[in-house]
Amino acid sequence: MDNEYIGKVCLDLSMYSGRDLYSDGAVEDELLELVKNNEESAFPELIEKHLSWPVFYHLSAQRTNIVEWLSLEGKKVLEVGSGCGAITGMLARKAKEVTCVELSKKRSMINAYRHKDRDNIVIHVGNFQDIEDTLDRDYDYIMLIGVLEYADSYIGGSAPQEQFLKCLKGHLKEDGCIAVAIENRYGLKYFAGASEDHTGRYFDGIENYPERKGVRTFGIEGLRKTAKKAGFDKISEYYPYPDYKFTSMIFSPERLPEKGELKTNICNYDRERMLIFDEAKAYDGICEDGSFRTFSNSYLLLLNGESDTAYVRYSSDRDPKYAISTRICGYEADKRVEKRALYKEGDEHIKKLLSNMETLKKQYDGSKLAVNEVKLKYEGERPVAVFEYLSGKTLEARVEKLLSEGNEDAFCDLFDEYLKRIVPADESAPVCRDMIFSNIIKDKDSWTLIDYEWMNEEGGSAELSAMRTLYCYSLEHPGRNISGLARIKKRLNKDGMSALFRKINEEEAAFQKKVTGGRLALSEIRQKLGYPVKELMVSKSTGPASYLQVYEDIGAGFSEERSYMDKTTDLYCEDGFKTVLSPGRNVKGLRLDPGMNPCLVRIDRLTYVSGGDKKELKNKIKVNGKRVARDCYVFADNDPQIMLKIPAAKEGDVLEVCMCVTAIPGASARTIV
C-alpha cells in the first residue's frame, strides 16, 4: 500500500492491514471533521462549543504539558501510540524529527490533519510488532505516554511490559531516553473514590486487577522493578499533578509538594466518581509524612535519562498571550527559576517582567521588602526570564501551619508584619497584584517578593492588596475560613466588609477573564461536561455523637471536663428537636455542639428564662461556622460550635433550645462556605 500525504505529513501505510482493529466509533469521524476544518487556535472554542469528553480530551492543549518541559530541541523522537496527536504537535515544534507509530488509520489521519503544516512528522500505521523491525535504532527520545499499561494487548507473554521496554531499548542511541507516563494504581484518587481510568471499575488496581489480563498499571516500586528487569539502571522519577493527562505541576524527589499545595484534586472529566474523603486534607498529611511518592496519581519516568529540572508549574489555562511555565532547574550553585512563554504570543509578557522588577525595586528601595531580581536570556529568539532560586518558606506555608494549628494570634502578628512590609514608598505608583502569600519568601528576617507577573497600572492601596490576598487565600483554602481570617478582614475593612469584598470579587472576575481570554477554566469545563461527584451519604452519628453536647463556662473557658451530653435530644430528627437546659450556678457562658458531623443548623429559638423574664438570644451568638441565611448556619468540620453569653445563672434559670440539625457531606459544606 502506497504512502499517503496529508499536507506535509507522511502516513506510511506499508504495514497497515487495511482495517482499523479498534475505534471509538462515530466520535472519531466527528474529530476528523473538526481538525480538517479548523486550525489549532480554534480548538479552545470548539471544546466549549461541543462540551464532550472526547473533543476535550483529544484537543486540549493541557495534554502537551507532560512533555513540554523536556529538552527536545534538535532531537530525533519516536512516539509509540500517537493516537489522535494530542502531544505530537508539541514534539514536532521542539524536535528535529518525529516518527509516530499508531495502529489506527483514522486516528493517524486526525493527527496528520491537525499538524498538516509540519514537515518533520512521519506516521507509521499498523501493529507495532510488524513495524518494529523497520524503525531506526538511534532515537534520542522514545515517548510512551499512556501506552505501557496496554502492553499485554499487543506484546503478550508472561512479562509484556518488560519485553516491550527491552524491545524499545534497542532503538535508542547509547545515551537515549525513554519517557514513560502512566497512572499509579495506588494513586490517592483511587482510594478517594475515582474509578480505575481504563476499566471504569472502582478499586480495580488497588485490588490487583482481579481479572488479570488486559490493561495493567503499577505502583512506583513495581514500575521501577519492571524497568530494571528490562535493563534500565538509570531511572529518574517525576510526579505529574493532578495526573499526566492534564498536568498542571510536575514534582521530583528534589522538589516535593508541601502541605497546602495540592488543591486541584477533582480532575475526573470522563465519568462520575465518588468522593469518600477530602483529598486535599489527605495530601496535607501525606506530604507532611513524606509519602507523596507512593500516592501520586501518575508517574513520569525517564529511563536512561535525567534532567536538571526539579519542578514545573504550568499556567496554560490562559489566553496564549499570558500562558507560561515556571521551572526550578539547575544544581546547587546554578539553581535557578525560569519562566517561559508557552507560545510566541506570550514573549512580550515575559519581557515585561524586567520593567515590572525595575518599577518595584524603586518602590521598595530602602524598605523591608526585597524584590528578587530577574534577568533575560534568549533561546534562539525566545526570551526566558531567569530568577535567583531562594531558600526559605513561603508565607503561604507559614500561614497554613499557623491556621491549621489554630494559632490565630501568631497569624495576626504575621499578617501585621506582612501589611507593614508591602506598603510602597510611593502609593500612587502601579501596584503589584502578586503580593499573595505564595509569592513571598520569608527566611529569618528577610522577606522577598519572588513573583511579579501582574501589575495594576491604576494603582491602589496596600490594604486593598492585602484584602485581595485574603480573598485569594480564602478561595483556595475554604477549610481555613476561621476566625483568625475574619479578625484580619474586619480590622482592614472597618466600613463594611461585604461591600469591599464584593468590589474585589468583581475586579478579580474581570482580571481572570482577561487572563483566560474569556475561555472556561478546566474546573468549569468539568462541571459543564456533566460528570458529577457522588459524595457518600453521611451516616447520622449514633450514641453520644447524636446528642447535643453542652459546655459550661464559669470564667475559666470551655473544657471537656465541664461538659455533658443532653440525652433528651435526637439531633437528626427530621422536624428538629426541643430541649430545656438548666445551667449550673454562676455559669456565664454556654457552648452548644450539635453533633460531630459537618452540618446545616437552623436555630428556631434560644430563649433564656430567669425569674419569669424571657430573653431571646439567637441573634447574640458566636459560631465557628458560616451564616448562610437568617438564623441558619453551615458548619464545615466535625466540631460545630454555637456559643452564647448568659447572665450569671441562678437557681431555676433555664435555656429553651429549639433547632433543626441536618448532617451534610464535608465537601458540600465547604463549597457552601
Kindly report, residue by residue over 432-457, the tens digit of the pLDDT.
888 999 999 998 889 999 999 998 77
pLDDT interval class at 385 (50, 70, 90): very high
- Of the given ranges (40-49, 149-158, 364-373, 486-495), which has the lowest mean pLDDT? 486-495
- Omega into 242 within 30° of 0, i.e. cis? yes
d(CA 411, CA 402): 6
Contact between residue 66 and residue 89 where contact means Cβ atoms under 8 Å apart:
no
d(CA 196, CA 219): 14
- Residue range 532-580, pLDDT digits in tens: 777 665 555 555 567 788 988 887 788 877 888 887 777 877 778 888 8
The answer on pLDDT for 198 being more than 70 is yes
Contact between residue 443 and residue 392 where contact means Cβ atoms under 8 Å apart:
yes
Query: 86 CB contacts (<8 Å, ≥6 apart)?
Result: 57, 58, 59, 60, 63, 64
When comparing pLDDT for 572 and 106, which is higher?
Answer: 106
- Mean pLDDT confidence for 320-328: 96
**Three-state SS letters, 520-551:** CCHHHHHHHHCCCEEECCCCCCCHHHHCEEEE
| Domains of the chain by start residue, with CATH | 1-136 (3.40.50.150), 144-166+176-313 (no CATH), 318-518 (1.10.510), 543-672 (no CATH)
d(CA 77, CA 558): 67
Query: If you search the block for the grid coordinates 470551655, which residue do you land on?
Result: 558
pLDDT given for residue 149 in this prediction: 95
When comparing pLDDT for 565 and 320, which is higher?
Answer: 320
pLDDT given for residue 8 in this prediction: 97
Percent of the chain with pLDDT over 90: 56
Beta-strand runs (E) in 468-520: none
- Mean pLDDT confidence for 132-150: 97
- Mean pLDDT confidence for 632-654: 86
pLDDT given for residue 493 in this prediction: 59
When comparing pLDDT for 213 and 623, which is higher?
Answer: 623
- Residue range 252-302, pLDDT digits in tens: 999 999 988 898 888 878 888 888 888 988 999 999 999 999 999 999 999
Classify residue 444 by burial, with Cβ atoms within 10 Å: 0-12, 13-18, 19+. exposed
**Pairing, β 172-183 against β 235-241:** unpaired
Helices (H), 24-148: 26-37, 43-50, 53-59, 65-68, 88-94, 105-114, 128-131
Classify residue 636 by burial, with Cβ atoms within 10 Å: 0-12, 13-18, 19+. buried
What DSSP string describes 334-395?
A: G-EEEEEESSGGGHHHHHHHHHHHHHHHHHTTTSS-EE--EEEEEETTEEEEEEE---SEEH
When comparing pLDDT for 84 and 577, which is higher?
Answer: 84
Closest of 325, 329, 387, 391 to residue 354, by C-alpha: 387
pLDDT given for residue 522 in this prediction: 82
pLDDT given for residue 382 in this prediction: 96
- Residue range 335-345, pLDDT digits in tens: 999 999 999 99
Classified as helix, coil or strand, 637 is coil
